[in-house]
Structure 1
């Protein structure tokens, strides 16, 4: 006997729960099921997937979750995002801005960066990820090519944090520093350090990054139109 189809609220609850535990195949299955029932892609994103990742972030901060749990939850959401992204574009969820992101030269950590990317995409940014070990000249080239609103540098090691300054110097030399908002982040980074290297913004975690990015963008746009 076939079980009755799940109600929309059951699907959303399932998506939330399964993203939280990082069950990628089930998240994908529920995403397809929801779309089959003509549920709105935005609803899946804002009522289930993003809240689940925010809860993952909160549990990480409390020490209930560790990096592996964050990673598998992020991957589970990324699977759903791959399906939803083209649909969100079709529904005219306008991109709110363009964000180029990369882990600095000498550093191969990308867990935090990848989570931030997923959250930014979920919030409506177009994200161009340059990957890890990104040299200053590669960031400069990406700014020329993509003309992003925001440029993000990520560092996980204290030893690679000085690359923030090297990257900003490279932008200045290329005459591009004023063209773009620079945000920095990563485990050892602090607001003080961000200020010291001359970044425009810093955020401690993925959800804070989205909020800060929107604030910085709104401020810049208000100045431009003033």
Structure 2
């Protein structure tokens, strides 16, 4: 079984969407644990690709292709995870995740969303370049507890503050936990804008969700 995980990882590293589809279909057909396939195959691949990019061994187009392949794999596996109760039956909680207005970088968001799903949360991904209104509308629609907003540009960090401020204007600030993340963000910035949590890595984001939901 480790072979299929290794194959998935390599397909992500190669940015080969067709191969990802082929291997994910194999996971589905052979009833292999979908959460394990996400964590040990798809996520391992994108994490290694990210490390290569940081080290200058991979280029942005490589990362983008890997991210697209990851997204395709997750879209195939997410319904299986939900249906099989691989997340442990009832979801731990509901999370609305997205990139803030002006931000179109979704690799980090996709990784965080994948890990949250694998950890047992029901994740509603509203995509990129989303205003505060969209985060709240989705959270209200699905009954989410957490709003997770990513910003990968210094110029879009203000849109994270806008979400917190918008919740206040609607008298809904206490209803939702707001988590922020992204390259230029920090704990100091989270404190400054009044967010509930800041995560530097996808793993940290999941651990913080566990804390926020049990509060």
Q: Specify the TM-score bucket, using the shorter chain as the normaliser.
A: 0.7 to 0.9
Whole-angstrom CA distance in 2 between matches of 1:121 and 1:91: 13
Structure 1 gaps of 5+ residues are 1-7
Alpha-carbon distance between aligned partners in 1 of 2:60 and 2:78, rounded to the nearest angstrom:
25
Q: How does 1:58-77 map to 2 (within 5 A)?
A: 58-77=51-70
Is the counterpart of residue 133 in structure 1 residue 129 in structure 2?
A: yes
* Whole-Å separation in 2 of the counterparts to 1:48 and 1:222: 29
Q: Which residue of 2 aligns with 1:118?
A: 114
Aligned pair 1:89/2:85, yes or no?
Answer: no
Q: Decide which of 187, 206, 209 is 1:217's aligned counterpart.
A: 209
Secondary structure, aligned partner of 1:133: strand
* Alpha-carbon separation, structure 2, partners of 1:168 and 1:17: 40
Which 4+ runs in 1 deviate beyond 4 A?
none
Structure 2 unaligned segments of length 5 or more: list them.
none
Q: Confirm or deny: 8 A CA contact 1:140 1:174 kept in the other structure.
A: no
Q: Kindly indicate whether residue 171 of structure 2 is the aligned counterpart of residue 179 of structure 1.
A: no
After superposition, the Cα gap between the structure-2 partners of 1:222 and 1:167, relative to the gap in structure 1 and judged at 3 Å, is: closer
Residues in 2 aligned to 1:198 and 1:79: alpha-carbon distance in whole angstroms: 35
Give me the CA root mean square deviation.
2.4
- Tell me whether 170-179 or 152-161 shows the greater mean CA deviation: 152-161
- SS of 1:132's partner is strand
Instruction: Report the alpha carbon displacement of residue 221 of structure 1 after superposing the two structures with TM.
Output: 4.1
Question: Is residue 112 of structure 2 the alignment partner of residue 155 of structure 1?
Answer: no
